Structure 1
Amino acid sequence: MRATIRDSFVGQVINAVSNGRLLPYPEEEPGFVLPPQYQRPDKGASPLSRPRLFVLGETPVSEVPTPSHTPVTGEVEANPNLVTWYGPDDPENPMNWSTGKKCWLTFTIMLLTTSIYMGSSIWAPAIEQGAEYFHVGLVASTLGISLFVLGYATGPLFLSPITEIPAIGRTSPYIVTLLVYCVLQLPNALVTNFPGFCVLRFLSGFVGSPALATGGASLSDTFAPHKLPYAMALYNLAAASAPGLGPILSGFAVDVLGWRWAFWEMLLLSAGSLIILSFTMPETSADTILCRRAARLRRLTGNPHLRSASEIAQAHLSARELLVQALIRPLYMTVTEPIIIAINIYIGLLYAVLYSFFESFPIVFAEGYGWSLGVSELPFAGILVGEIAGLGVYMWWNRVAYEGMCKRVHGHIEPEKTLTMSLPGAVVLPIAIFWFGWTANRTHWLSPVFAAGLFGFVIDWLFAPFLTYLTYAYPQYAASALASNDFVRSLFGAGMPLASQPLFHNLGVAWGNTILGCCGVLFVPLPWVLIRLGPWLRERSPMAVHDAEILAARSAVDEGEKARVASMAGVEGEVGV
């Protein structure tokens, strides 16, 4: 727990202000034994003599460098100024964290995601009250949803790539933007004019956006390939369920206390999350952790040439060039990578359907079935229940099928293997949409609720596989790939509340959902196409991982295992003699 607090945003501040005296790292503690390769000949051994358990381990098997690869001990021997892990079991390496710490990280990412995403739909029950208060029409009042979503569509293009800069890392942008998000809830709750309200909603979505695109990258920093789908599924559950929780959270408060209470509730939720995360969300970027370690070793040894791999790779770039490169990359990937384009459009369709419910649910349950404002928001719980059930099935598949595939190839698996569950998901999606549209207000209210639950059920079979696929297909630029996806899907989500008004009022709920369902039918072949053509597309991309790299890494591990077994056999033979 101490290491988790030390690696948090507050812990980093305390460590920096105290110059390493409080919450120190191993290199800052008395008695730290400097690994031999970092001892300069003219400096001799470290004057700190009390021994520690922090020693170099055996040289691990060399790996073919992948975008997420961080050099290990063997590479340090070739370059003594290269700062890397202190052996394969280095506890600072996020991949070596305990299961409990990894689970806590997953919880913090889910909490952060839920705290922001609920803000997109918290305004849904207040649309009519807002229209009356600000003296605008219902379509204009819907901008309270659309502008927030538009904000977190554009925000990741500028904020998420910053998390790929080693000197900054992932945790600091999360906490700083969440703090600004909390502050913005105050004027949101107190604003008295509609233009100001619109600006505040956009800014809230913009500053709250990093976790919505980068959360998956944080998890991929920490989990091995055969375990990552579990964490990604939980993260996607938070992302997909939070918009449905927003109306449930605010529905009764808005009905009784007025529309401003939607934002008071958001302030309480986000402020509580800020306090928890500031003290307990650790940094996950290996490049950032090693960059900070290099700085500590430079101070300790007086050797100005000690550098981490990321510092060496970016030494020729200025801070301005690094920033520009990071900001341009998501936009470039959005328009040049066929895999990303296809997945972005499909996930955008899912978002369009999800955000269409904010308009169709009041029509179906408040106007059609005659429920009160607060009660008419409760069917969103059907989506949440469906998502939880779908998550269980997805995790079961991962346990019985995907983990075995990963272990057989030592974790170096083709990204397309993650898409298996999306095949039935793509088929069931339009069925759920047609079911909801054509049973709403024609049958008992349970039927459209079950249809909404089925939609939630298949979301996990589509969100988790596709976003995990992007993480594996573009490991070096996972944050940028996910930021691109968040940008496009959020544009769909931002436009849908505005389009839903004429769509459902002019065509009706049945025919409006028929159009959405037909769009879903068009995308049924997409998972099969990516499974068949994905390797060919990745081979022609300069940013995606290639099968040759995967096979080479797999072979390297096999050779390393053979060498290890042979070495152990030799040792046993000597002991026997």
Structure 2
Amino acid sequence: MRLLDNDTFWGQIVYLLSRRRLLRYPEEEPGFVPPTFGDFGVEAVEDRDLEQLENAKRQCVDSDDYLPSSDTFESDKGMIYVSWYGPNDAANPKNWSLLKKIITGLQMGLLVGCIYMGSSIYMPAILQLEAEFHIPEVVAILPLAVFVFGYGVGQTLFSPLSEHPRLGRMWIYNLTLLVFWVLQAPTAKAKNIASLTVLRFICGVLAAPSLSMGAATMGDMFEMRYMTYAIASWAFFCCTGPALGPLLGGVFYFIKDWRWTFWILGMVSCGGFIILSLTLPETYAPNILHRRAARLRKLTGNPNYTTIYDEEYAQLSVSQLAREFMLRPFEIAFTEPIVLALDVYIAMLYATLYVWFEAFPLVFHQIHHFNAIQSGLAYMGLMVGGLLGLVAYCFTTYWAFEKRDADIETFMKLCLIGAVCYPVSVFIFGWTSHPDIHWIAPIIASGLNMFGAFFIFQTSFNYLGGSFPRFMASVFAGNGLFRASFAGAFPLFSKALFVNLQTDPKWPVAWGCTLLGCIGVLMIIIPVLLIIYGGRLKGRSKYTGQ
């Protein structure tokens, strides 16, 4: 067993710098015999017609077995299409051991948790930021807003790029995290709010890959029946990251100052890069097969070795590639009613999570007189709610899909659990935030809010992933742009929302939460409509896996 996987960041660097003498692949070992060509069983792939290639790819990727019975197949034009070396090929991420899949999934959780934590880590120190730079509060919130905007923009770029067979996911993850880590030093030493804001936007763009590609990476490894649990486990880190940020930031702000919130983020991202660069392998099958085809061309001297994925992109012009990479997330988001409806719904919920960063100080600092560390601990309710949501969600989906053999539309029925919990929790939070009511009540309400939001997030993500498996990364990228747009904007006016609707200082967030709760009640109609009409809408779509 190798200490360093040749498909990791450092493994690839060692492999390339050694001129392919170290960490070699099976095709490069002495005595390797090129595979014989069997019948792939896909009659559509007889030439380079893009539509036929796409149909073949969908059969290859979306089938339950995923793997053909043979390793390559040959077209009548002489092109040899490389696939897996049989159904038990160890290079196929779906054939990895359960332990390797879990470790890779935990790495993705570490990455997304670190990134999400970075968005809110400086919020406990915002008053010090205002005082040092002589700026109003809304300007001091800009570094949070532009960070969130940045990873919305970045997702629309990096996610489609990760679907190109030449690039894959591993290089994008590691290179963006490396630069993200390096930029924490100038961020911590920023001399004015302008430089801090620009650096935070760049960091937000670099943070993007883990947020949309993470779910796609889980889909690379797990079969459809297990993907639900895999994505839910990864999403737990998405929920806990923003809640952990104020806790960790509050501790270091209390001990040091606001700049240390970014120094600690740099340390965390450095540790994350070290772990991921040494142990995170490539998971994207088209990229793995692309490199396999290149090795077979070198081994045999036959230039006709290729993959159906490479052939698809070979048919595209520069303008078509630009459309694939830059416009596809927008096209899917705005032309698919299912995607648009769930994007708006999820964005609204996600924005509420960032509204808490304004509501919590009003409640716990202003009326309950918590210090910075105690205020950070108040966010633990969100983390507990997310954990309970994960357990309950996995249990209900197991009951629905393993015991009752439900179809994908069941996700929207399960979504109704969260759709009810969400507005109820917002109402409770608003009307228990009072000096004469114990502080645990709004914390419990925030936990219930995360419980409901977790159900909505996961049922929606699995519904989208199961409905659009071929373009999963692009669908999640568009969703990320919606989330980022809402979440970046809401903190800029959320305090004004609470203050302007306030009728009594003892009820600082009551009417603001009432407004948000009423919006949540109205949005229950989205999963209801998708339960009724979702199947018909997917039947008309050119992007679904049907």
Answer yes or no: is the 8 Å Cα contact 1:89–1:96 preserved in 2.
yes
Structure 2 CA distance for partners of 1:422 and 1:355, relative to 1, 3 Å: same
1:21 aligns with 2:21: yes
How far, CA to CA, are the matches of 2:329 and 2:106 in structure 1?
A: 27
How far, CA to CA, are the matches of 1:466 and 1:282 in structure 2?
A: 28
Note the C-alpha offset of 1:465: 1.1
How far, CA to CA, are the matches of 1:216 and 1:67 in structure 2?
A: 16
Partner amino acid, structure 2, of 1:392: V
Structure 1 length normalisation: TM-score?
0.86
How far, CA to CA, are the matches of 1:64 and 1:249 in structure 2?
A: 45
1:185 aligns with 2:179: no
1:72 aligns with 2:68: yes
Which residue of 1 is the match for residue 8 of structure 2?
A: 8
How far, CA to CA, are the matches of 1:433 and 1:517 in structure 2?
A: 5
Partner amino acid, structure 1, of 2:159: S
Which residue of 2 is the match for residue 425 of structure 1?
A: 418
| Superposed CA offset, 1:262-310 (max 9, x none) | 0001000000000000011111111111001000000011110011110
Structure 2 CA distance for partners of 1:505 and 1:63, relative to 1, 3 Å: closer
Note the C-alpha offset of 1:14: 1.5
1:466 aligns with 2:469: no
Note the C-alpha offset of 1:311: 1.0
For the residue of structure 2 that corresponds to 1:2, the secondary structure is coil
Answer yes or no: is the 8 Å Cα contact 2:184–2:263 preserved in 1.
yes
1:434 aligns with 2:427: yes
Note the C-alpha offset of 1:137: 0.3
- Using the TM superposition, name which of 321-330 and 356-365 deviates more: 321-330
Answer yes or no: is the 8 Å Cα contact 1:389–1:457 preserved in 2.
yes
How far, CA to CA, are the matches of 2:259 and 2:368 in structure 1?
A: 27
Partner amino acid, structure 2, of 1:478: M
- Using the TM superposition, name which of 508-517 and 62-71 deviates more: 62-71
Which residue of 2 is the match for residue 142 of structure 1?
A: 141
| Superposed CA offset, 1:205-264 (max 9, x none) | 011111101111111111011111111111111112110110001102112211000000
Which residue of 2 is the match for residue 295 of structure 1?
A: 294
For the residue of structure 2 that corresponds to 1:420, the secondary structure is helix
Answer yes or no: is the 8 Å Cα contact 2:419–2:524 preserved in 1.
yes
Answer yes or no: is the 8 Å Cα contact 1:73–1:84 preserved in 2.
no
Note the C-alpha offset of 1:64: 7.0
Structure 2 matches for 1:347-386, cutoff 5 A?
A: 347-386=346-385
How far, CA to CA, are the matches of 2:197 and 2:323 in structure 1?
A: 29
Structure 2 matches for 1:56-205, cutoff 5 A?
A: 65=59, 68=62, 72-73=68-69, 76-77=72-73, 79=75, 81-205=80-204
For the residue of structure 2 that corresponds to 1:136, the secondary structure is coil
How far, CA to CA, are the matches of 2:411 and 2:94 in structure 1?
A: 20
How far, CA to CA, are the matches of 1:258 and 1:78 in structure 2?
A: 64
Note the C-alpha offset of 1:449: 0.8
For the residue of structure 1 that corresponds to 2:37, the secondary structure is helix
Which residue of 2 is the match for residue 54 of structure 1?
A: none
Structure 2 matches for 1:497-536, cutoff 5 A?
A: 497-508=491-502, 509-536=509-536
| Superposed CA offset, 1:426-456 (max 9, x none) | 1111000000001112511111011011112
- Using the TM superposition, name which of 438-447 and 396-405 deviates more: 396-405
Structure 2 matches for 1:554-569, cutoff 5 A?
A: none
Which residue of 1 is the match for residue 53 of structure 2?
A: none
Answer yes or no: is the 8 Å Cα contact 2:153–2:481 preserved in 1.
yes
How far, CA to CA, are the matches of 1:315 and 1:205 in structure 2?
A: 32
1:277 aligns with 2:276: yes
Structure 2 CA distance for partners of 1:173 and 1:68, relative to 1, 3 Å: farther
Structure 2 CA distance for partners of 1:4 and 1:229, relative to 1, 3 Å: farther
For the residue of structure 2 that corresponds to 1:82, the secondary structure is strand
Which residue of 2 is the match for residue 549 of structure 1?
A: none
1:482 aligns with 2:476: yes
Note the C-alpha offset of 1:404: 4.1
How far, CA to CA, are the matches of 2:294 and 2:384 in structure 1?
A: 48
Q: Any unmatched runs of 5+ in structure 1? A: 39-61, 407-412, 547-577
Structure 2 CA distance for partners of 1:362 and 1:63, relative to 1, 3 Å: closer
Partner amino acid, structure 2, of 1:423: L
How far, CA to CA, are the matches of 1:289 and 1:189 in structure 2?
A: 39
1:415 aligns with 2:408: yes
How far, CA to CA, are the matches of 1:337 and 1:277 in structure 2?
A: 35
| Superposed CA offset, 1:22-52 (max 9, x none) | 11111111222221229xxxxxxxxxxxxxx
Note the C-alpha offset of 1:78: 5.1
How far, CA to CA, are the matches of 1:519 and 1:82 in structure 2?
A: 52
Answer yes or no: is the 8 Å Cα contact 2:73–2:82 preserved in 1.
no
How far, CA to CA, are the matches of 2:140 and 2:535 in structure 1?
A: 46
How far, CA to CA, are the matches of 1:415 and 1:499 in structure 2?
A: 38
Which residue of 2 is the match for residue 240 of structure 1?
A: 239
Structure 2 CA distance for partners of 1:310 and 1:405, relative to 1, 3 Å: farther
Which residue of 2 is the match for residue 550 of structure 1?
A: none
Partner amino acid, structure 1, of 2:419: A
How far, CA to CA, are the matches of 1:83 and 1:247 in structure 2?
A: 49
How far, CA to CA, are the matches of 1:66 and 1:349 in structure 2?
A: 36
How far, CA to CA, are the matches of 2:11 and 2:526 in structure 1?
A: 45
Which residue of 2 is the match for residue 59 of structure 1?
A: none
Note the C-alpha offset of 1:401: 2.6
Q: Count residues in correspondence.
A: 517
Answer yes or no: is the 8 Å Cα contact 2:60–2:67 preserved in 1.
no
* RMSD (CA atoms): 1.9
How far, CA to CA, are the matches of 1:524 and 1:432 in structure 2?
A: 14
Partner amino acid, structure 1, of 2:12: Q
How far, CA to CA, are the matches of 1:473 and 1:456 in structure 2?
A: 25
Note the C-alpha offset of 1:3: 8.5
Note the C-alpha offset of 1:76: 3.6
Partner amino acid, structure 2, of 1:124: M
Structure 2 matches for 1:299-318, cutoff 5 A?
A: 299-318=298-317
Structure 2 length normalisation: TM-score?
0.91
Answer yes or no: is the 8 Å Cα contact 2:67–2:86 preserved in 1.
no
How far, CA to CA, are the matches of 1:319 and 1:5 in structure 2?
A: 34
Structure 2 CA distance for partners of 1:477 and 1:241, relative to 1, 3 Å: same
Which residue of 1 is the match for residue 488 of structure 2?
A: 494
Answer yes or no: is the 8 Å Cα contact 1:218–1:284 preserved in 2.
yes
How far, CA to CA, are the matches of 1:490 and 1:4 in structure 2?
A: 36
Note the C-alpha offset of 1:365: 0.4
| Superposed CA offset, 1:345-399 (max 9, x none) | 1111111111011001001000110111221121100110111011111111233
Answer yes or no: is the 8 Å Cα contact 1:66–1:476 preserved in 2.
no
How far, CA to CA, are the matches of 1:213 and 1:63 in structure 2?
A: 22
Aligned-pair identity in percent equals 40
How far, CA to CA, are the matches of 1:256 and 1:375 in structure 2?
A: 13
For the residue of structure 2 that corresponds to 1:533, the secondary structure is helix
Note the C-alpha offset of 1:318: 4.7
